[in-house]
Amino acid sequence: MKTTVNHVSGCTGTEEELLQRVRQLASGYKDKEGSLIQVLHMVQSVYGYLPLTVQQIVAEELGLPLSTVAGVVSFYSFFATTPRGRHTIRVCMGTACYVRGGVSIVESLEKQLGIQAGGTTADGVFTFEIARCIGSCGLAPAMTIDDTVYPEVKAADLPSILEPWYCGGK
Amino acid sequence: MRNAIIKSPSDLAALRDAIRTQASTYKFTVYICGGAGCVSSRCDKVAEALRAAVDSAGLSNDVRLVVTGCIGLCAHGPCMVVDPDGVFYGDLTPEKAWSIADRHLRGGELVQELCYFDTDRGEYLPYMKDIGFFSEQVKIALRNCGRVDFSSLEDVVAHDGYFALAKVLTDLGRERTAQELIDAGLRGRGGAGFPTGVKWQSGMNQPGDQKYIICNADEGDPGAFMDRSVLEGDPHSVIEALAIGGYVIGANKGYVYVRAEYPLAVDRLGKALDDARAAGLLGSDILGAGFDFDIEIRIGAGAFVCGEETALINSIEGKRGEPRQKPPFPFQSGLWGCPTIINNVETLANVPAIILNGAGWFASYGVGKSRGTKVFALAGDIVNSGIIEIPMGMTLRTIIFGMGGGMKGGRAFKAVQSGGPSGGCLTVAHLDVSVDYESLSAMGAIMGSGGLIAMDENTCLVDTARFFMEFVQDESCGHCVPCRSGTKRMLELLLKITSGRGAPEDLEELQELAVIVGQTAMCGLGQTAPNPVLTTLRYFKDEYLAHVVDKQCPAHVCKALRIYAIDPDKCRGCAACAAKCPAGAISGVIRQPHSINTDKCVKCGVCSDACKFDAVVC
């Protein structure tokens, strides 16, 4: 029986299948100068995150030193080196959201999810992060779950916002 | 009409005339805001309902429904405008959409109770021309946002899209186009305010077989969302301007570097690029003028510093987004060592309008060396939050109180933060100063990208300075010492002050450090990072002194400086707070008002959370 890998935010498949897809993806960009960041975006969407084994494959396929790949992965906040949850919650803490009470949203979520910002819930459903302005300042405080934006969030709304995501959808 | 290939300026004109004729047959045009803010308030449901209502009333030949980019008044989203009369409806729901279709579009009557309500005047204002938020605006960069179906190249062409490109390619030529922008006085809208025409001239005069033009859409300043509005509401203007710029400087390749936080902008821009390519407005021999040009989107990966042009170039090259030493400047040696010109989204959005209407027209707006208009994002504790475009030279008072409708909940205005982490906090005393590049710099703030965050009396400016320092500290790339270590030391001092451990000499040290970091950091991020600290030290010194001398936070924001007490009139003596207090600082008899021993209190706020009667005050 094939075991499905538990990187919930990526595609489904066996470890070998996923790594093979990563290799295929990266090899298509071998001679395209400057494509490392775009490749990492794609690879992360396939594998879910970018552990060292994945970085190594990308480095080999693009003909780059591993240190260059690791340097880029660690520089940008969108790249994760630990497994991520199926959905990503980003609470905006840009100036407008901060002024309009974003802190209380963060505190309530930390309580409800039982994790600190930056963490992933034990059931693998949510990764919870702080965002540096998502550009919804006119509707502060705002948060996103994946690509869905929730405007003018109140701490009391959080349970009803989170609930549908546990069943996989919006 | 679909997928028309436009091979010449006359094809373009023919398409425009055909679409305009078609549009003129409708009795009403309804513009439904499809900006990111309204999308999050589910404008799609409203549009769906309106479409269904119009169809079921048999009005589809009378009513043209257009989903547009941001109309601007995010505070009342989802919103829409009904033309020919410019009637504004806000806070819409699918039910309200049905009612507007029935009464306004079928019955021809205004649905007054769904119109904008002016609380100051105590009356409904149905027409945009009467609503302060809209009436003071002059839309140049945003001319198509809220008026054009961003997803339809035909509708864009009907609104003169790509005619500026045609004019440049067939009539103006390279030198005159650059000169036109210089005469117009257009300056970079991303923050630094460098004259765009001069930049293009430098790119044009720089020798090189391969050159690049880049649109900087890495809008990272918290509080700024105008570039997002333009990209989502009018992507073709950016594409057209990049093609014009490419032609002027001699580049055949352009990039748009968009931040990963803006997926909707990436989608819409991507579709616009596909449409432009399919129509022949990108690719080879554009408009039969022998000019080849194409554009690629590059998506950022979450690094604020990439808004700095040389860091952005490194990021497009797939590297860590660390800035490069200048000189050489990008126009000399930029992307892959080639001459490169970088312009901000809003700057580019102005270009086609200037080319079509002339430098004199653009320069007739504005004051002094700040010509034209500027887009501002109004946010924070303000009633009418949203996006506005105004002629430069307007006062902050007009913007915040006239257009913005003042502070929420009738609270007192305390400060306005302009220009994000690179900008400064201004006070009541600055409300009558003109908003332009020079005046804002003179006050220690900057125009920046145009984020204006209004703060009311419940804001602590020391805490705000800490907030910005935490931001830049976190986003500092670490390449140079002043920014990497200097901002860290400044943050430590601010944390010391906001946690009640500060001393008066800390303020001197903070000031000294701020000046040094500003003078010695390598790139714009570090050089401007001290601005929020410097301006708050300058204009809110009393508030800092209250923190370090009196150990008080006048706005009751800094937790460690709060003094918790129990209001005996509200306390029911349930002892919920005493049970939760980790320091055993609360005592009292059951069913009698309790009290807090301030010597024992650790100011954690648990009592306040535990109290069901709002009896804990601080």
* Of residues A35, A132, A136, nearest to B40 (C-beta): A136
A77 contacts chain B (CB < 8 A): yes
Is B400 found in the same domain as B466? no
* Beta carbons within 10 angstroms of residue A30's beta carbon: 11
- Does B304 sit within 8 Å of A132, measured CB to CB? yes
Are A72 and B379 inside 8 Å of each other by CB? no
Provide the CATH number for the domain around residue B176. Answer: 3.40.50.11540
**B557 pLDDT exceeds 80?**
yes
Q: What span, in angstroms and rounded, lies between the C-alpha atoms of B394 and B432? A: 9
CATH number for the domain harbouring residue B372: 3.10.20.600
Most confident of A127-131, B224-228, B449-453, B492-496: B492-496
Residue whose C-alpha is closest to residue A105's, from A126, A127, A136, A128: A128
Q: Do B302 and A76 touch (CB under 8 A)?
A: yes
Confirm whether B555 is domain-assigned: no
Which residues, at least 6 apart from A130, have a Cβ–Cβ distance to it below 8 Å?
Answer: A90, A91, A93, A106, A117, A118
Share of chain B above pLDDT 70, in %: 100
Angle at CA of residue B455, ends B449 and B457, nearest 5°: 165
HSE value, Cβ hemisphere, 13 Å, CA-based, for A90: 21
CB contacts < 8 A, A to B, total 146
Predicted ipTM of the assembly: 0.89
**B449 lies in the same domain as B474:** no
Is A167 annotated in a binding site? The answer is: no
- Asked if A133 reaches chain B (Cβ–Cβ under 8 Å), the answer is yes
Nearest to B198 by CA among B221, B224, B177: B177
Give the single-character DSSP code of A30.
T
Beta-carbon separation of B225 and A34 below 8 A: no
* B455 CB-side CA count, 13 A: 28
Could you tell me if B33 and B131 lie in one domain? yes
pLDDT value of residue A138: 87
Instruction: Report the predicted TM-score, pTM, of the whole model to 2 decimal places.
Output: 0.93
The beta-strand segments (E) located in B401-526 are 413-418, 424-426, 451-456
Which stretches does DSSP call E strand in B468-528?
none
Residue B150 counted as domain residue: no
Q: Do B161 and B302 fall within a single domain?
A: yes
- What's the gap in Å between the CA of B580 and the closest CA on chain A? 16
CA A153 to chain CA centroid, nearest Å: 21
Q: Which helix (H) or strand (E) holds B363?
A: helix B359-363
| CA–CA separation, B97 and A168 (whole Å) | 31
Domain containing residue B506: 461-548
Q: How far is A148 from chain B (nearest CA, A)?
A: 7
User: Is B37 in Cβ contact with A151 (below 8 Å)?
Assistant: yes
Domains: count for chain B: 5
- Which of A33-42, B338-347, B601-610 reaches the highest mean pLDDT? B338-347
Q: Are residues B235 and B178 in the same domain?
A: yes
pLDDT score of B2: 52
In terms of domains, do B431 and B573 share one?
A: no
Of B78, B105, B135, which marks where a domain is finished? B135
pLDDT at B437 over 60: yes
| Per-residue pLDDT reduced to its tens digit, B54-111 | 999 999 999 999 999 999 999 999 999 999 999 999 999 999 999 999 999 999 999 9
Which residues share a beta bridge with B31?
B66, B81
Residues 56 through 75 of chain A touching chain B, CB cutoff 8 Å: 68, 71-72, 75
Q: Which residues of A touch B455 (CB under 8 A)?
A: 99
| Token pair recorded at residue B615 | 């009896």
Task: For residue B319, give the nearest of A72, A97, A150 by CB distance.
Answer: A72
In this structure, the answer to whether residues B250 and B325 fall within a common structural domain is yes
- Which chain B residues have a beta carbon less than 8 Å from that of A96? 222-223, 379-380, 385, 453
Whether B483 is in a domain gets the answer yes
Tens-digit pLDDT profile for residues B142-190: 999 999 999 999 999 999 999 999 999 999 999 999 999 999 999 999 8
For residue B143, tell me if it sits in a domain: no
Q: How many CA atoms lie within 13 A of B303 on its CB side?
A: 29
| Confidence (pLDDT) at B325 | 92
Report CB contact under 8 Å: A132, B317: no
Interchain contact, B381 vs A95, CB within 8 Å: no
Residue of A nearest to B73 (CA): A138
- Is the CB of B315 less than 8 angstroms away from the CB of A37? yes
- Within 10 angstroms of residue B582's Cβ, the number of other Cβ atoms is 9
State whether residue B248 is helix, strand or coil.
helix
A136 vs B37, B220, B380: nearest CB: B37
Instruction: List chain A residues with CB under 8 Å of B228.
Output: 135
Query: Residue B485 is part of a domain; what is its CATH number?
Result: 1.20.1440.230
Tell me the CATH number at B129. Answer: 3.40.30.10
Is B361 inside a domain boundary?
A: no
CATH number for the domain that contains residue B589: 3.30.70.20
Q: What is the pLDDT of residue B168?
A: 98
Task: Tell me if A137 and B40 make a contact (CB, 8 A cut-off).
Answer: no
DSSP A3: P
HSE value, Cβ hemisphere, 13 Å, CA-based, for B433: 18
Q: Is residue B142 part of a domain?
A: no
- Of B352, B381, B410, which residue sits at a domain end? B352
**Nearest-CA neighbor of A63 among A33, A95, A37?**
A33
Average pLDDT over residues B578-588: 92
pLDDT along chain A (170 residues), means of 10: 50 88 94 92 94 97 96 95 92 91 92 93 93 87 92 93 80
Q: Is A11 annotated as a binding residue?
A: no
- From chain A, the residues in CB contact with B36 under 8 A are 135-136, 149
Residue B298 backbone dihedrals phi, psi, to 5 degrees: -120, 130
Can you tell me whether residue B67 is helix, strand or coil?
strand
Residue of B39, B223, B459 with shortest CB distance to A133: B223
CB burial string A86-122: b at 16+ within 10 A, e below: bbbbbbbbbbbbbbbebeebbebbeeebebebebbbe
DSSP reduced 3-state for A31 = coil
Nearest by CB to B302, from A78, A96, A138: name it: A78
Helix crossing, A102-113 with A158-166: angle to 10°? 50
Please determine, for residue B548, whether its predicted confidence score (pLDDT) is greater than 90: yes
pLDDT, averaged across chain B: 94
Chain B residues near residue A68 by CB distance under 8 angstroms: 319
B229-285 tens-digit pLDDT: 999 999 999 999 999 999 999 999 999 999 998 999 999 999 999 999 999 999 999
**B336 & B373 share domain:** no
To the nearest 10 degrees (0 to 180), the angle between helices B531-539 and B541-548 is: 90
**Which residues of A fall within a CB distance of 8 Å from B318?**
33-38, 72
Cβ neighbours of B464 in A, within 8 Å: 95, 99
- pLDDT on residue A8: 53
Select the residue of B261, B262, B299 nearest A41 (Cβ to Cβ): B299
- Asked if B568 and B611 sit in the same domain, the reply is yes
Asked if the Cβ–Cβ distance from A95 to B477 is below 8 Å, we say no
Q: Is residue B231 domain-shared with residue B325, that is, in the same domain?
A: yes
| Residues A18 and A5 sit within 8 Å (Cβ to Cβ) | yes
Same domain for B96 and B66: yes
Please give, rounded to a whole number of angstroms, the shortest distance from the CA of A81 to a CA of chain B: 14
Residues of A (96-125) whose Cβ lies below 8 Å from B: 96-100
CA distance B516 to B458: 31
Residue B359 domain flag: no
- Claim to verify: residue B297 and residue B429 sit in the same structural domain: no
Estimate the share of chain B in helix, then strand, then coil, as percent rounded to the nearest 5.
Answer: 45, 15, 40
Beta strand pairing call for B595-596 and B586-587: antiparallel
Residue B59 contacts by C-beta under 8 Å, 6 or more apart in sequence? B101, B105, B106
Calculate how close chain A gets to B402, using CA atoms only, in Å.
Answer: 17
Q: Is residue B147 part of a domain?
A: no
Of B296, B322, B352, the domain-final residue: B352
